[in-house]
């Protein structure tokens, strides 16, 4: 009995001490009472120095939280509970959030730095006239491969994936839109196809790829590629950049038939309680200096033209990350397919998965 009481007291004392320590540590940031800004972003998706700088410049205290998927992020915003002022969803999720009335329209007069953004990335189908969203990072879907392990294939065409020499060597990302989209692209169709006949053809074509497929996985592909345990993988350009940073042998290609162009965008959710602060933050991130430093830190492609002038020449001229305009014409942004066709894509993806033995 005595030891039970002792243990209880010990736990309470330790907790109190830790409380004190945590308070002392976070007090360093200067809790500014009401003037706070809560940011909800992907993990490791911002240069932490920029947050500190923003705090010093504006006196707004930043609360920074992270999420790992668009769906999880939307659930939390939908339920409220936390007053998120900024979130960074991908394009298809913005369409969904618009439909659910979860976003606040942006006041462009408070965003003078918007002029730094490449017009190519503005006014896209998922958000006309950028009423609700401002591009944060962008990228493509393509093939990362190790040239020394594949014989004279350069993946300028999706067709190369079907090469018999790649038997049991191809890794795919576990995403219905990405994989079915690749099937559609390889046939020259749009990756937003709503044509049942085209979708059927694409799936049949994918099924013939089955003997080459080694696995359909997610983030685990990164270490496999880095350690040369995998040869070829369908993946996002940002993830490929991570792999190539660690393993210089690797190369990345976006096939000529076309591929997906994706965006992560800053939005102000309905839950926001500091709309002015949110605009200030977006404008801060749109500045050339912040854009350049953030892109350097995160390693994804920035839509900020002014920032690109400040960045390493070698990076911004690398067509693997910053494709030429000619190549960009073949790229397509995902459109919201609606629940019926999204279900169909998922079903076809499942059918393809089942064909792999």
Partner 1 sequence: MNKLSASAKVYLIIVFIVLYAPIFYLIFYSFNSGGSMNHFESFTLEHYQAVFEDSRLLVILINTVIVALLSALISTIIGTLGAIGIVTVKDSKMRNTLLSLNNVLIVSPDVIIGASFLILFTIAGIKLGFTSVLLAHVAFSVPIVVLMVLPKLLEMNTSLIDAALDLGATKKDIMMRVILPYIQPGIFAGFFLALTYSLDDFAVTFFVTGNGFSTLSVEIYSMARAGISLTVNAISGLVFFVTVLVVIGYYFVTSRATKRTEGQQ
Distance of alpha carbon 136 from alpha carbon 295, whole angstroms: 10
Check residue 43 for interaction with partner 1 (CB under 8 A): yes
Check residue 109 for interaction with partner 1 (CB under 8 A): no
Half-sphere CA count of 28, side-chain side, radius 13 A: 7
Binding marks (x or -) toward partner 1, 290..329, rule CB under 8 A? Answer: --------x-------------------------------
Which alpha helices (DSSP H) does 28-144 contain, by range? 48-58, 70-79, 91-99
Check residue 72 for interaction with partner 1 (CB under 8 A): yes
Q: Is 40 or 352 the residue whose CB approaches partner 1 more closely? A: 40
DSSP line for 187-205: TT--TT---HHHHHHHHHH
Check residue 337 for interaction with partner 1 (CB under 8 A): no
Q: How far is CA 133 from the centre of its chain?
A: 15
The b-or-e profile of 13-43 (16+ CB within 10 A means b, else e) is: eeeeeeeeeeeeeeeeeeeeeeebbbbbbbe
Q: Using CB under 8 A, which of 33, 34, 79, 248 touches partner 1?
A: 79
Check residue 14 for interaction with partner 1 (CB under 8 A): yes
Report, in Å, the least distance between residue 79 CB and partner 1: 5
Q: Is 112 or 223 the residue whose CB approaches partner 1 more closely? A: 223
Checking 78-81 for CB contacts under 8 A at 24+ apart, the result is 78/102, 80/271
Q: Using CB under 8 A, which of 30, 223, 338, 343 touches partner 1?
A: 223
Check residue 29 for interaction with partner 1 (CB under 8 A): yes
Q: Using CB under 8 A, which of 71, 196, 219, 309 touches partner 1?
A: 219
Check residue 21 for interaction with partner 1 (CB under 8 A): yes
Q: Which residues fall within 8 angstroms of residue 171, CB to CB, at 6 or more apart?
A: 213, 214, 215, 216, 217, 221, 224, 225, 230, 232, 233, 234
Please report, as ranges, the residues that interact with partner 1 according to CB under 8 A.
1, 3-4, 7-8, 11-12, 14-15, 18-19, 21-22, 25-26, 28-29, 38, 42-45, 48, 63-68, 72, 75-76, 79-83, 219, 222-223, 226-227, 238, 242, 246-247, 298
């Amino acid at each position: 009995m005595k030891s039970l009481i002792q243990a209880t007291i010990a736990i309470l004392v330790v907790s109190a001490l830790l409380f004190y320590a945590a308070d002392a540590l976070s007090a360093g940031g200067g809790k500014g009472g009401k003037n706070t800004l809560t940011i909800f972003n992907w993990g490791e998706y911002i240069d932490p120095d920029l947050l500190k700088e923003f705090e010093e410049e504006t006196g707004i205290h930043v609360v920074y939280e992270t999420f790992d998927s668009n769906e999880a992020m939307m659930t939390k915003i939908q339920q409220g509970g936390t007053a998120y002022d900024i979130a960074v969803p991908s394009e298809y999720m913005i369409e969904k959030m618009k439909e659910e009335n979860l976003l606040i329209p942006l006041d462009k007069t408070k965003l003078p730095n918007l002029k730094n953004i490449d017009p190519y990335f503005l006014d896209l189908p998922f958000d006309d006239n950028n009423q609700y969203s401002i591009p944060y990072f962008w990228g493509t879907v393509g093939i990362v491969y190790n040239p020394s392990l594949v014989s004279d294939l350069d993946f300028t065409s999706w067709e190369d994936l079907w090469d018999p020499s790649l038997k049991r060597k191809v890794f795919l990302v576990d995403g219905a839109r990405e994989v079915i989209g690749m099937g559609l692209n390889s046939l020259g169709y749009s990756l937003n196809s709503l044509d049942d006949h085209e979708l059927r053809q694409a799936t049949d074509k994918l099924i013939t790829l089955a003997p080459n497929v080694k696995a359909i996985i997610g983030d685990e592909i990164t270490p496999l590629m880095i350690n040369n345990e995998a040869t070829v993988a369908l993946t996002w350009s940002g993830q490929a950049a991570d792999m190539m940073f660690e393993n210089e042998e690797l190369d990345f290609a976006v096939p000529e038939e076309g591929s997906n162009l994706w965006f992560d965008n800053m939005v102000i959710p309905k839950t926001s309680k500091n709309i002015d602060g949110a605009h200030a933050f977006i404008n801060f991130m749109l500045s050339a200096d912040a854009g350049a430093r953030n892109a350097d830190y995160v390693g994804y492609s920035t839509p900020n033209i002014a920032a690109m002038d400040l960045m390493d020449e070698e990076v911004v001229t690398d067509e693997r990350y910053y494709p030429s305009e000619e190549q960009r014409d073949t790229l397509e942004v995902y459109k919201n397919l609606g629940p019926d066709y999204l279900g169909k894509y998922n079903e076809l993806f499942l059918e393809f998965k089942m064909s792999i033995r």
